[in-house]
């Protein structure tokens, strides 16, 4: 962790390199602003000592009004430089963040499914959003203000030493103590604040769950128990906010206390020297101002300390993701193929998601262009895995997969995938219009979209939507039924006119009227193209040219429905055993689409 | 009601607040002493051959001010700011109580996310108004008053007024620029939310994107959003970076006025050097409350708006309330439904029309029908999730509306359609957080629901956490846990609302066999899509568009060759 952070720091700093000149300029502005800040008490000292105490004769620029104007000019100049600096730093920071954000997004897009399967959706989203934002804060707020604060502290100490060494040392007596106390309190407050935030997050989660499950709570009369849970959480939150209040109640008046202490100390020490005329009153007064200026940078640094820590955690996470670069998919490598014929052959394919945990063993089959082949078998037989291999989402460990006679790994992935459309059970719809969900980002005109909707029978319900194909899909399609979503995903596949279609037939939660449409749609989809279908319905299976029966990762039987029934083997047993052939979708651990989709309880 | 809640809260805690506000005034006054003490000390030090004793007294004052500032601030902050925190938590609990009595018809109109916002954001806004903003306002007014009076005494009214001249400009500038910054900040937040949504959707749909090779176009689309984010951020900074330099410059005008005019007065002998120094100190004190004016106004506006929003929610009366005094659900009671019609609030079509049903005690009724035919609605009405206006529902002869709500609902064990489980342990889910069940009862319920073995295979068995921070179960497993949750209550009426849809046919058979055993002599309602789940029921009704279109046993209905037969043939 420690070493990871230091390398992250190096990499973070390296992002600055292209902007070195601008950063140097910004740093220069910071110096100017701070210089101005230090000059202000000195001007006051001159006014008090030279004019008001010693009554030195005023002439020209060396006069009270001139000093006033100088003071004003210094403040205005400092303001000007500070505006310039803040804008400059933000421009640099935003540019860097834009680059980083795009890199993270691109990486996520091109990560192989193998990696995505192992990573939770939430953590990936955090990388591209909150983590980058944490770094952005680090850049635009923290780093420059840290630099400015450090410089200001040094500047104040330097200025005090320059004016009067002994008086400076006296003022600085209190500062280590002040430093320690403020730092301690600030970090404690920040840490507790994170706890408060965590608790409010849990309250949020508790509410979300209970509000959406309110019907259940009410039908089980569990209101009292749920209230007890909420009160517990809320009480814990209350306690940590009270701690927050108490800590802040100590911290807030502390700056006044330390200032007063230092001033008291200065007066006690200074009175002797003023009496002996070795110290001017103006100097003493300037020092009280310097002491005041001391407080805010110290407080800032302590405040930023935890921000920096969390930014480094974010940086570690971002770089860890970016380090996946060598494993990213290269969509453009390989043999370009404009149009596949749709000839798919598995030759003795062995595949495991991890190590030697074989999901497919010695699988061989050959699908000719235009054929429809059904895959049947129980949960975990390896059917879904075949889909993933055909689209080259994973590579087989042993054996060969040939598409149009070419090893699948040699074909340009972009071309391969554009030629093979996969329709999963768990249909994903984007928060776009119906039309755009069919066409995706590709140039498919509305006429073609309408055609695809007609062929897939999705038109039956799309026409009833107020906006037709321009109707937006709400909340990822939760307003549509499972069957309607499936029809839309057929339309999506048809609109892209693939040479090969691979589909995982939906089983559950489809009402009988839509079910009939789906049957007809599958026939339309399968027409004129190679079709691989993970089938659950006898009607679909009967229409297949061939059936590949799988068991425990192996192909145990192949043939058409009649010949397999005649054989009276495993297939016949399955058909007679239950009305639906194959596994139930929800119980299937291998439908990895499910592991991503079913994240919510 | 939100306002009434506030008044009640203040009444209950008025003493703490009164003491707090008193200490606040004290703290403000003490704060304004410092410049004077410093000024007086300067005057003493200025005179040649001053007596050290005088200075010691001043140093003593300084230390006293330090201690008193600390003490008073500590007290008022704890009382006032801490009090606001207590208010926040109390209000949140009151809201939660209110949420729990509101009826499903309320929840069907509101988004969960919005309701959470009430409980967190709005309550927080009210807290900010009554805590920090109120104290800042009181404190600020007190400091300004004390300071202005002290300034006039240190110098004179004319110089004081002159020095106050730039302050209105500062306030006006802050308000105007503050509004622009707020608007631009909102844009930044909106863009950030859009980016989050896009990333979220993209990752959830990554399989589709990959399958259709959409990666490059997606990255391009993301870059466009990204550009907007950069632009929004820079636009905000362009304005917000002006804020503090301009304020400082305006304020410096006051300071310079004192430097020149006040300095002149010192030279003319009208005021002492100490007065001059004190005047400077007072100016510094003024800056903080003036700067906070804009902020206070903002917080108060937001707080008032949130209070109104909370009022709106808290004033919603629950639709469904206790009907009558009957406090126990009758044992072994039959269910009678008489000419029941129902339309959801706001719907123009009836979800149920003219339903007549008699379920003798101890019998099993099967209900089939397509999605939207009214099956679940019937269950909801039996449990009085909605009010029954047309028709009657009787349990053992007692009208549904004569029951206390909890008595009625305790009569039921429901397995809902959506397999809703809490992010809690398996065991807590089965008990539904209620006490009084032995571990053996929990295990038995799990066994009867045919889920025991797969639960024991989980890392912590029945103690395994489910949900976001725990294990994700398959739909079939969740369904079976919700069956166990209903069974453990050993309810008078068990209702399975399409509760076997995600289990395979073999397990379905086992569960149904277990039900026949444990539910012998008890009333059971089974709603299903699949015929296999209801075919053994004593009676089956077929619903279509809210009406019962067929009824009879499996064999009778098959023989009839009506809608039931049609569904069978499709499966």
Provide the 10 A C-beta neighbour count for residue B258. Answer: 22
Contact A578 B505 (CB under 8 A): yes
Q: Distance between CA atoms of A124 and A108, rounded to whole angstroms? A: 8
- Cβ-Cβ contacts under 8 Å, B249 against chain A: 72, 75-76, 79
Token pair of A299 as six digits: 């407080």
pLDDT band at A379 (very low <50, low <70, confident <90, very high): low
Chain B CB contacts of A584 under 8 Å are 476, 502-504
Question: For residue A335, what are the β-bridge partners?
Answer: A411
Within this chain, do residues B83 and B5 fall inside the same structural domain, yes or no? Answer: yes
pLDDT of residue A583: 41
Helices (H) and strands (E) in chain B, counts: 24, 10
Smallest CA–CA distance, residue B501 to chain A, in Å, is 7
Cβ partners under 8 Å of residue B258, min gap 6:
B155, B159, B163, B276, B279, B280, B283
Residue B158 to residues B155, B226, B273, Cα–Cα distance (Å): 8, 55, 18
Supply the CATH number for residue B312's domain.
1.20.1560.10
Q: Are residues B396 and B527 in the same domain?
A: yes
* pLDDT > 60? residue A3: no
**Measured between CB atoms, which of B66, B100, B474 is closest to A256?**
B66
Asked whether residue B536 is domain-assigned, the answer is yes
In a domain, B215, yes or no: no
CATH no., domain A344-427+496-595: 3.40.50.300
Give yes or no for a contact between B405 and B485, defined as CB atoms under 8 angstroms apart: no
Q: Considering only CB atoms, which chain A residues are within 8 Å of B185? A: none
What are the pLDDT digits (tens) for A228-250?
999 999 999 999 999 999 999 99
Residues of chain B contacting residue A229, judged by C-beta atoms under 8 Å apart: 433
Task: List the domain boundaries for chain A.
Answer: 1-163+304-329, 344-427+496-595
Q: Which residues pair with A213 in a beta bridge?
A: none
Lowest mean pLDDT among A97-106, A172-181, A376-385, B559-568: A376-385
Of B248, B472, B424, B159, the C-alpha closest to A75 is B248
Q: What CA–CA distance (Å, rounded) separates B23 from A203?
A: 34
Which CATH number characterizes residue B411's domain? 3.40.50.300
Among B69, B113, B120, select the one facing A256 at the smallest CB separation. Answer: B69
The pLDDT confidence band at residue A509, using thresholds 50, 70 and 90, is low
Tokens of B439: 């571990």
Per-residue model confidence (pLDDT) at position B541: 94
DSSP string, B105-127: HHHHHS-HHHHHHIIIIIHHHHH
Residue B362 lies in a domain: yes
**For residues B392 and B340, what is the distance between their CA atoms, to the nearest angstrom?**
6
Q: What was the ipTM of the complex prediction?
A: 0.84
The segments of chain B whose pLDDT lies below 50 read: none
Residues 123-162 of B with CB under 8 A from A: none
pLDDT, position B98: 94
Contact B42, A281 (CB under 8 A): yes
Judged by CB atoms closer than 8 Å, whether chains meet at A208 and B116 is answered as yes
- The Cα B334–Cα B317 span in angstroms is 32
- pLDDT for residue A73: 95
Helix (H, G, I), strand (E, B) or coil at A166: helix
Nearest CB to A204: which of B67, B86, B120?
A: B120
Give the separation between CA A549 and CA A375, rounded to whole angstroms: 6
Q: Do B412 and A270 touch (CB under 8 A)?
A: no
| CB of B130 closer than 8 Å to CB of B84 | yes
B288 in a structural domain: no
Chain A contact for B206 (CB, 8 A cutoff): yes
B428 with B517, same domain: the answer is yes
Claim to verify: residue B315 and residue B341 sit in the same structural domain? no
Residues of A in contact with B85 (CB under 8 A): 238, 241-242, 245
Expressed as residue numbers, the domain containing B300 is: 1-155+295-319
Question: Among all residues of chain B, which has the CA nearest to that of A119?
Answer: B203
A443-452 contact pairs (CB < 8 A, 24+): A444/A495, A444/A496, A448/A495, A449/A491, A449/A495, A451/A494, A451/A495, A452/A491, A452/A492, A452/A494, A452/A495
In a domain, B306, yes or no: yes
Co-location of B67 and B119 in the same domain: yes
Residue B316 contacts A, CB cutoff 8 Å: no
- For residue B261, being part of any structural domain is answered with no
Kindly state whether A335 is in contact with chain B, defined as any CB-CB distance less than 8 angstroms. no
pLDDT over threshold 50, residue A579: no
- What residues form DSSP beta bridges with A346? A365, A401
Q: How do residues A302-345 score in pLDDT, each as one tens digit?
A: 777 777 877 888 888 889 889 888 888 888 888 888 888 889 99
Residue A350: which H helix or E strand, with range?
A: strand A344-352
* Interchain contact, B263 vs A51, CB within 8 Å: yes
Measured in angstroms, the CA of B127 and the nearest CA of chain A are apart by 12
- Beta strands B412-415 and B493-497: pairing type? parallel
Rounded CA separation A294/A302 (Å): 13
Kindly state whether A304 is in contact with chain B, defined as any CB-CB distance less than 8 angstroms: no
Q: Decide: helix, strand or coil at residue A560.
A: coil
The C-alpha angle with vertex A178 and arms to A175 and A183, in degrees rounded to 5, equals 125
Residues linked to residue B395 through DSSP beta bridges, in sequence order: B335, B398
Q: Give the pLDDT of residue A580.
A: 45
Q: CATH number for A1-163+304-329: choose from 3.20.20.70, 3.40.50.960, 1.20.1560.10, 3.40.50.300.
A: 1.20.1560.10
Listing DSSP states for B146-195 in one string gives HHHHHHHHHS-HHHHHHHHTHHHHHHHHHHHHHHHHHHHHHHHHHHHHHH
Give the pairing of strands B364-368 and B539-544. parallel
Give me the pLDDT at residue A594, please: 32
Do residues B372 and B502 share a domain?
Answer: yes
Distance from CA of A359 to the nearest CA of B (A): 20
Chain B residue numbers with beta carbons less than 8 Å from the beta carbon of A393 are: 210
pLDDT at residue A598, rounded to an integer: 28
Task: Tell me the HSE value of B427 on the side-chain side, using a 13 A CA sphere.
Answer: 16
**Furthest-apart CA pair in chain A: how many Å?**
122
Interface of B with A in 468-497 (CB under 8 A): 468, 472, 474-478, 485, 489
Is B231 inside a domain boundary? Answer: no
Number of domains forming the structure of chain B:
2
In the numeric block, the tokens 């200065």 are attached to A266
Q: What is residue A510's predicted lDDT score, i.e. its pLDDT? A: 63
Distance from CA of A335 to the nearest CA of B (A): 16
Give me the residues paired with residue A548 across strands.
A375, A558
Tokens of B136: 């800042």
Residue B235 has a CB neighbour count (10 Å cut-off) of 16
Binning chain A into helix, strand and coil, the percentages to the nearest 5 are 65, 10, 20
A62 interfaces chain B, CB cutoff of 8 Å: no
Q: Provide long-range contacts, Cβ within 8 A and 24+ apart, for B457-460.
A: B458/B426, B460/B425
Chain B 8-27, residues with CB within 8 Å of chain A CB atoms? 27
B227–A98: do the CB atoms touch at under 8 Å?
yes
Contacts with A389 from chain B: Cβ below 8 Å: none
State how far the Cα of B97 lies from the Cα of B94, in Å rounded to an integer. Answer: 5
CB proximity list for B53: less than 8 A, separation 6 or greater: none
The tens digit of pLDDT for each residue in A388-407 reads 898 888 888 899 999 999 99
Cα nearest neighbour of B117 on chain A: A204
- Tell whether A128 lies on the interface with B, counting CB pairs under 8 A: yes
Distance from C-alpha of A558 to C-alpha of A365, rounded to nearest angstrom: 9
C-beta atoms of A241 and B88 within 8 A:
yes
| Interface probe with B: pick from A57, A109, A126, most Cβ of B within 10 Å | A109
Residue pLDDT, tens place only, A39-63: 988 898 888 888 888 888 888 788 8
Q: Which two tokens stand for residue A251?
A: 């911290």
B244 within domain boundaries? no
The answer on pLDDT for A370 being more than 50 is: yes
Contact A513 B115 (CB under 8 A): no
- Please give the residue that has the higher pLDDT: either B384 or A136: B384
The answer to whether residue A54 neighbours chain B at the CB level (below 8 Å) is no
Same domain, yes or no, for B301 and B364?
no
Percentage of chain A surpassing pLDDT 70? 93
Q: Checking phi first, is residue A375 left (phi over 0); if not, alpha (psi -120 to 50) or beta?
A: beta
- Neighbour count for residue B49 (Cβ, 10 Å): 5
Distance from CA of B163 to the nearest CA of A (A): 14
């Amino acid at each position: 962790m420690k070493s990871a952070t230091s390398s992250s720091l190096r990499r973070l700093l390296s992002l600055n390199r292209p902007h070195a000149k601008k950063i140097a300029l910004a740093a220069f502005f910071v110096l100017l602003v701070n210089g101005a800040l230090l000059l202000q008490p000195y001007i006051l000292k001159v006014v008090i000592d030279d004019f008001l105490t010693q009554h030195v004769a005023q002439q020209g620029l060396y006069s009270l009004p001139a000093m006033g104007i100088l003071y004003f000019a210094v403040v205005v100049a400092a303001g000007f430089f500070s505006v310039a600096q803040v804008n400059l730093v933000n421009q640099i920071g935003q540019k860097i963040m834009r680059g980083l954000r795009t890199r993270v997004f691109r990486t996520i897009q091109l990560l192989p499914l193998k990696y995505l399967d192992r990573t939770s959706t939430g953590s990936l989203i955090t990388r591209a959003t909150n983590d980058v934002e944490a770094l952005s804060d680090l850049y635009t707020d923290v780093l420059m203000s840290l630099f400015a604060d450090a410089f200001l502290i040094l500047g104040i100490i330097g200025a005090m030493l320059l004016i009067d060494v002994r008086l400076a040392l006296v003022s600085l007596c209190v500062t280590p103590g002040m430093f320690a106390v403020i730092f301690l309190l600030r970090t404690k407050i920040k840490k507790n604040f994170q706890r408060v935030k965590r608790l409010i997050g849990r309250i949020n989660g508790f509410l979300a769950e209970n509000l959406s499950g309110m019907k259940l709570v009410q039908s089980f009369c569990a209101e009292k128990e749920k209230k007890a849970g909420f009160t517990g959480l809320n009480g814990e939150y209350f306690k940590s906010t009270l701690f927050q209040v108490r800590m802040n109640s100590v911290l807030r008046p502390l700056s006044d206390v330390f200032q007063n202490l230092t001033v008291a100390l200065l007066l006690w020490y200074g009175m002797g020297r003023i009496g002996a005329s070795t110290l001017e009153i103006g100097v003493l007064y300037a020092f009280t101002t310097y002491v005041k200026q001391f407080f805010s940078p110290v407080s800032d640094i302590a405040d930023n300390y935890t921000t920096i820590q969390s930014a480094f955690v974010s940086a570690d996470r971002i770089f860890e993701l970016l380090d996946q670069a060598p494993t990213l998919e290269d969509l453009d490598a390989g043999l370009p193929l404009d149009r596949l014929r749709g000839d798919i052959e598995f030759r003795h394919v062995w595949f495991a998601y991890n190590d030697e945990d074989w999901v497919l063993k010695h699988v061989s089959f050959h699908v000719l262009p235009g054929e429809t082949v059904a895959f049947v078998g129980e949960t975990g037989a390896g059917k879904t895995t075949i889909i993933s291999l055909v689209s080259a989402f994973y590579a087989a460990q042993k054996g060969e997969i040939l598409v149009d006679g070419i090893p699948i790994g040699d074909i340009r992935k972009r071309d391969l995938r554009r030629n093979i459309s996969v329709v999963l059970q768990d249909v994903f719809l984007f928060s776009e219009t119906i039309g755009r969900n069919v066409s995706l980002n590709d140039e498919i005109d509305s006429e073609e979209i309408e055609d695809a909707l007609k062929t897939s029978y999705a038109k039956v319900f799309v026409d009833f939507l107020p906006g037709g194909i321009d109707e937006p899909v709400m909340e990822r399609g939760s307003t549509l039924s499972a069957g309607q979503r499936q029809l839309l995903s057929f339309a999506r596949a048809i609109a892209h006119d693939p040479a090969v279609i691979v589909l995982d037939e939906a089983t559950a939660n489809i009402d009988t009227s839509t079910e009939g449409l789906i049957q007809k749609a599958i026939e339309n989809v399968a027409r004129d193209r190679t079709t691989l279908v993970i089938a659950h319905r006898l009607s679909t299976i009967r229409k297949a040219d061939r059936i590949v029966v799988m068991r425990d990762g192996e192909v145990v039987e192949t043939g058409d429905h009649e010949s397999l029934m005649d054989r009276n083997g495993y297939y016949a047993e399955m058909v007679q055993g239950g009305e639906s052939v194959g596994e139930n979708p929800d119980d299937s651990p291998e439908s990895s689409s499910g592991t991503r989709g079913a994240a919510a309880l | 009601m939100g306002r009434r809640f506030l008044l009640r809260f203040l009444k209950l805690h008025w003493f703490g607040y009164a003491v707090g506000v008193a200490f606040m005034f004290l703290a403000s006054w003490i704060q304004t002493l410092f410049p004077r003490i410093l000024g007086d000390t300067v005057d003493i030090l200025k005179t040649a051959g001053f007596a050290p004793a005088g200075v010691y007294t001043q140093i003593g004052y300084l230390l006293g001010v330090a201690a008193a500032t600390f003490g008073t601030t500590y007290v008022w902050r704890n009382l006032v700011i801490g009090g606001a925190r207590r208010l926040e938590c109390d209000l949140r609990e009151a809201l939660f109580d209110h949420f729990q009595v509101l009826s499903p018809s309320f929840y069907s109109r509101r988004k969960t996310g919005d309701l959470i916002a009430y409980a967190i954001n709005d309550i927080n806004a009210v807290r900010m108004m009554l805590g920090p903003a109120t104290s800042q306002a009181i404190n600020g007014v007190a400091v300004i008053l004390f300071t202005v009076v002290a300034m006039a005494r240190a110098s004179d009214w004319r110089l004081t007024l002159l020095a106050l001249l730039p302050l209105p400009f500062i306030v006006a500038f802050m308000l105007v620029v503050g509004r622009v910054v707020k608007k631009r900040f909102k844009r930044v937040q909106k863009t950030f939310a859009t980016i989050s949504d896009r990333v979220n959707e993209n990752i959830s749909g990554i399989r589709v994107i990959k399958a259709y090779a959409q990666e490059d176009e997606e990255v391009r689309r993301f870059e466009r959003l990204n550009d907007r984010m950069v632009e929004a951020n820079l636009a905000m900074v362009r304005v917000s970076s002006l804020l503090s330099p301009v304020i400082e410059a305006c304020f410096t005008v006051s300071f310079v006025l004192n430097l020149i005019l006040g300095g002149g007065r010192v030279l003319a002998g009208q005021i002492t050097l100490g007065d001059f120094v004190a005047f400077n100190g007072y100016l510094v004190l003024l800056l903080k409350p003036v700067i906070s004016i804009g902020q206070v106004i903002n917080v108060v506006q937001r707080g008032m708006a949130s209070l109104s929003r909370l009022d709106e929610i808290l004033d919603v009366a629950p639709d469904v309330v206790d009907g009558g005094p009957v406090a126990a659900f009758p044992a072994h009671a039959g269910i009678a439904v008489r000419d029941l019609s129902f339309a959801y609030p706001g719907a123009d079509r009836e979800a149920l029309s003219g339903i007549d049903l008699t379920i003798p005690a101890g019998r099993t009724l099967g209900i089939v029908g397509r999605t939207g035919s009214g099956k679940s609605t019937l269950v909801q009405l039996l449990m009085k999730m909605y009010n029954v206006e047309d028709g009657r529902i009787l349990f053992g002869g007692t009208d549904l509306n004569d029951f206390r709500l909890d008595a009625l609902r305790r009569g039921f064990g429901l397995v809902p359609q959506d397999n809703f489980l809490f992010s809690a342990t398996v065991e807590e889910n089965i008990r539904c957080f209620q006490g009084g069940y032995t571990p053996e009862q929990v295990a038995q319920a799990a066994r009867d629901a045919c889920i025991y073995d797969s639960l024991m295979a989980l890392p912590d068995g029945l103690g395994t956490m489910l949900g976001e921070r725990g294990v994700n179960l398959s739909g079939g497993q969740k369904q079976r846990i919700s069956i166990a949750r209903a069974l453990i209550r050993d309810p008078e009426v068990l209702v399975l609302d399409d509760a076997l849809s995600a289990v395979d046919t073999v397990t379905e058979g086992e569960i149904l066999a277990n039900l026949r055993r444990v539910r012998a002599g008890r009333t059971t309602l089974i709603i299903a899509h699949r015929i296999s789940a209801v075919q053994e029921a004593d009676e089956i009704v077929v619903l279509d568009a809210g009406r019962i279109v067929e009824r009879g046993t499996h064999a009778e209905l098959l023989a009839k060759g009506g809608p039931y037969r049609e569904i069978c043939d499709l499966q």
